[in-house]
Amino acid sequence: MEDPRPVVAYIASKELMQISSLLPSNPQRSTLVHTLARSLNLYSREFSTERFLQLVPPQKAERSQLNLYHTDDYLNFVLNPDNADELSKTEYGLEEDCPLFRGVSLYVELVGGAAITAVKTLQHPRWGRHHAKKNSASGFCYVADCVLAIMQLRRLAQQTPSGPRKPRIMYLDLDLHFSDGVSQAFHQTSSTSPNILTLSIHHTAPGFFPSTPLADLPTPTSDPFTLSLPLQQGASNATFLRAWACVERIRTAFDPDFVVVQCGVDSLAGDPHAIFNWSLGPCDDISGRGSLGWCVSRVLNHPDWRGKKLLLGGGGYDSPNAARAWAYLTSIALGNPLPLNTEIPSDETNEFFPQYAPSFTLDVPAGTMQDRNTDEYLRSVERVFEEAAIAIQQRLTAT
């Protein structure tokens, strides 16, 4: 008998886990993530009565699929790196923060393929690299899986009483760093086709990566479908709660059919960047308002957020905390949020148990640094986003 519960598709395989664990910026992180998910029984159909998790192995992206966004020259190099010379490495961004590593070509094929597989699974129900450019690697990102996913989604026509139309796709980026690769990919495409909206909540400051005018607070002449919400140092749950009201206003104006969320966790307290105070949870409306778990739960579970959702990974440079966060977000997606005081399993299912010291629990608590996001600054953000929402509604009404 077919299980009547909704499916949460979890795109993963041993091959993807192993190759992702070779990523120079996050060695072994992928192994920690999937090991913790398994040891917490998230893969079990008995974990939740609301939904069940279905493991879906990614298919390798074909060259033609990667070519939907990436240039031939870049793919010729990154998929065949054995004859690499120093000049080419520089040209294609494969140095400094994105060095070549053993298995990079398979990594590009599998990570790109995982995003495409996820979209296909959304279409027939039964990870996020947001810095990579069309012709180069950047910011620890070798393949633009977020962009590839959005490009696949926009092929899925939506049926309406007046006939099929292009889908509206909202991309929401929660990483500490601005989503330059994704935002640049779709910047100003709304002038002819206002169907893709990108919104990045992040930190920006002089010298902070990435350096681009698109990371600044929008102006009245900015493209209202390429939005940036920069937060100052020390952003807390209370600050994210106020920022989230802007997100909700944009969502109401745009009314997306699909929502893609890049769940980077380097914004959490405890990350080596040490920029924000954001906590992992809880996800309830009483004590968790503004936390990462609460924000993601709104997208996944609140009736105002209609349509299908695609969650991607991203930054996060304390690997045990990244594993904690993504396990917790998966439990929210499954409709059975784990208690934050859940103990990290210490049996044979979790060989990485010592890395979760000193708390050995699931929680990533809030930080205590000064929140430099003043009321005056947040009021200015709210004014800008109200103007953007009005501009979005006007543009959509005119098409």
- E-strand ranges in the chain read 7-11, 52-56, 158-160, 163-165, 169-173, 196-203, 226-231, 258-262, 308-312
User: How many angstroms separate the CA atoms of 43 and 385, rounded?
Assistant: 39
- From the list 110, 167, 173, the residue with the least C-alpha distance to 312 is 173
Number of other residues whose CB lies within 10 A of the CB of residue 311: 23
Longest dimension (CA), the chain: 60
Question: 82: which DSSP letter?
Answer: G
* Single-letter residue type at 66: L
Q: Choose the catalytic residue: 34, 130, 131, 177.
A: 131
Beta partners for 308?
258
DSSP 227-287: EEEEE-TT--HHHHHHHHHHHHHHHHHH--SEEEEE---TTBTTSTT----B-----STTT
Rounded Cα gap, residues 275 and 205, in angstroms: 11
Burial level of 382, CB count in 10 A (0-12/13-18/19+)?
A: middle
For residues 278 and 168, give the distance between their C-alpha atoms in angstroms, rounded to a whole number: 30
Decide: residue 20, CB within 10 A, 0-12 exposed, 13-18 middle, 19+ buried. Answer: buried
Q: With b meaning 16 or more CB within 10 Å and e meaning fewer, what string describes 337-359? A: bbebebebbeeeebebbebbeee
Which tokens hold the place of 95?
Answer: 């140095």
- 34 given a catalytic annotation: no
Pairing label, strands 226-231, 7-11: unpaired
Q: Which of 196, 204, 151 is nearest to 179 (CA)?
A: 204
- What is the full DSSP assignment across 197-239? EEEEEEE--TTPSS--GGGSPP-TTS-TTEEEEEE-TT--HHH
Catalytic positions are: 131
